[in-house]
Structure 1
């Protein structure tokens, strides 16, 4: 199953994001130690270009696995994330059009 993951961050978290970004990127690359596959993701910005969160398109067995991935992210564990939103994508989602997934498939 595919999910849109949207994580909004608490305000003024730039320094904390900088500190935890290497661990966050490792988490994404590992798929949360195999919990999910991250096809694509990026920072979310406000209208002034300030970072307010992150998003990703995940492939996971079910909603529980997608949530485990999101909740296990170092950004979340460090208290940076204010809210996590997971939205199932339709079966017609064309994941094959994303040529270079962020997580290596096993």
Structure 2
């Protein structure tokens, strides 16, 4: 099952994002037996100039596993986010697994 993780940064936390970004990238690249990271990237301000959050799509067995993965993200541990949602997601168009 796929899950979308949407996280919005706390205002004024760009320094936390910058300092934690290498660890966040490593977390996503490290193989996880319970989760497959599918895609993701930063959410941007309306003018496209600043990162203001994150969007990740993962594959996991259940919501509990997806939430545990989201909680382990170095960004989350560094208290970067004001809010985080983890929701089941149905991958429609553009799914590389479906051709």
Specify if TM > 0.5: yes
Q: Does 1:36 align with 2:35?
A: yes
Q: How does 1:1-106 map to 2 (within 5 A)?
A: 1-31=1-31, 33-49=32-48, 50-90=50-90, 94=95, 96=97
Gaps of 5+ in 1: 99-106
Contact 1:35-1:68 within 8 A present in 2 as well: no
Change (3 A) 1:39 1:91: closer
Contact 1:58-1:66 within 8 A present in 2 as well: yes
TM-score, normalising length: structure 2: 0.85
Q: How many equivalent residue pairs?
A: 97
Q: Cα RMSD between the aligned structures?
A: 2.1
Gaps of 5+ in 2: none
Q: CA deviation at 1:97?
A: 5.6
Deviations 1:47-99 (A, max 9, x none): 0222110001110110001001111100000010111111212376735169x
Name the CA distance, whole Å, in 2 between partners of 1:18 and 1:61. Answer: 31
**Which is helix-richer, 1 or 2?**
1
**SS of match in other structure, 1:8:** strand
Change (3 A) 1:47 1:92: closer
Aligned residue for 1:102? none
**Which is strand-richer, 1 or 2?**
2
